[in-house]
Amino acid sequence: MLRNAPKFYELAKRIVEITENCIIVAHNARFDYRILKTEFKRLGYDYERQTLCTVELSKTIIPGQESYSLGKLVRKLGIPISDRHRAAGDAQATVKLFKLLMDKDLDKTIIQSSIKMEPKLQIEKHLKRIIDALPSITGVYYMHDSNGDIIYIGKSKNIKKRINQHFTSQTHKSKKIQKQVNGVTYEDTGSELVALLKESEEIKRNKPKFNRALRRSIFSHGLYSFVDSNGYINFKIAKVNCPETPITTFSNLQSAKRFISKVTEEHNLCQKLTGAYPSKTSCFNYTIKQCNGACVNEEAISVYNKRKQHIINHHSLKNRNMVIIDKGRSIDERSAILIEHGIFQGIAFFNLNYQINNIDILKSLITPMQSNRDAQHIIQNYLRKHKSLKILKF
């Protein structure tokens, strides 16, 4: 295989160029880095780069594995690998492993430590240089100060454009960020839903000083149901600080009212029993013959309640077991959001050539995330707006 391969001195200049201002990531990085330094030393060149070892990172982020060899580790985690023990195949497997480790690194120790040790991010006084280095992708971005500490977390469908808005805005908050920001890192998610969930979780986890507003709950009102004295299921909108668990939640009262109006029309519901038209007699739609008369006890209770229950089952996550499939970070990748017994478990990315058909394999790929009302609200709100999403039930 090496008989007609180029000599190291023929490639040395290119290696210097492609690793300039970079951190070298390798499985057992000490070995690879030592080989590189030895070869460059023979050429009289002092080669110095920062490194990250996926063996050491794996031991920290996913402890308790039987083996941390590349082959056994990627098989255990369900990562597809080809051309094993060949440079290209092992490199691609290491890339996929590193992405998985970045996903599971909830405390962001990898990126925060790289900000501290990477010299090129210490000279970013001109904000344009930071913008130029960013891609126009969907994901989560992290603004760091000169110590590498995260001072702001956000999400966007176009990170480059959003950071440009931060750096050109003249608001008091933006000006303070512009003075303190020293570097911006980002995480490609592909899916806006994954970005929303990661943003919410990591703001609560890292508590950046410029994210104070988003540390609080991101919804205010919820949809609730009750059965009236006649046996009909009624809907009501109320603030979420009441002791009951809402069917679904809304960012504000206006979006809740729009939802009620929409389902009332789509499912031919009674305005009075959805709370859209308070009345002691019949609702307005009954007078124009667009209501079947539940408000005056004319429609059969079982028939009417069946439509109401369908709405409740469709919009509530309670007791549901499902995987939401959304966009991935590349053409041949998809993201998976796992809901088990109505509880949000976490997210994962998988390759289209390695289809997820086993729940145990999926669980090994999952990056665990907190299940709270904010996460539930994000998922329910996203499902309401994106009805064509693929959902696998199990």
- Per-residue model confidence as pLDDT tens digits over 227-241: 999 999 999 999 987
Write down the mean pLDDT value for the chain. Answer: 87
pTM above 0.85, yes or no: no
pLDDT at 46: 85
**Most distant CA pair in the chain: distance in Å?**
94
* 394 CB neighbour count, 10 Å cutoff: 10
**Which residues of the chain form beta strands (DSSP E)?**
23-26, 50-53, 139-144, 150-156, 183-188, 221-227, 233-239, 248-250, 322-327, 333-340, 343-351, 367-368, 390-393
- Per-residue model confidence as pLDDT tens digits over 106-137: 877 777 766 544 434 333 456 888 998 899 99
What order of strands is seen across the sheet that includes strand 322-327? 367-368, 343-351, 333-340, 322-327, 390-393
- Tokens linked to 282: 């019949």
CA–CA separation, 138 vs 233, rounded Å? Answer: 41
What number is the average pLDDT over the span 344-350?
A: 92
What number is the average pLDDT over the span 50-62?
A: 88
The phi, psi pair for 171, rounded to 5°, reads: -70, 160
pLDDT at 121: 34
What number is the average pLDDT over the span 194-205?
A: 93
Whether 48 has a pLDDT exceeding 90, the answer reads no
SS percent in the chain: helix, strand, coil, step 5: 45, 20, 35
The lowest-confidence range among 3-7, 24-28, 94-98, 108-112 is 108-112
8 A C-beta contact, residue 186 and residue 135: yes
Name the residue with tokens 């939802």. 259
- Per-residue model confidence as pLDDT tens digits over 69-113: 988 888 888 887 777 667 888 899 899 999 888 888 887 777 776
Work out the percent of the chain whose per-residue pLDDT is above 90.
Answer: 46
Instruction: Band the pLDDT of 208: cuts 50, 70, 90.
Output: very high
pLDDT at 115: 55
- Per-residue model confidence as pLDDT tens digits over 217-230: 678 899 999 999 99
The phi, psi pair for 234, rounded to 5°, reads: -110, 150
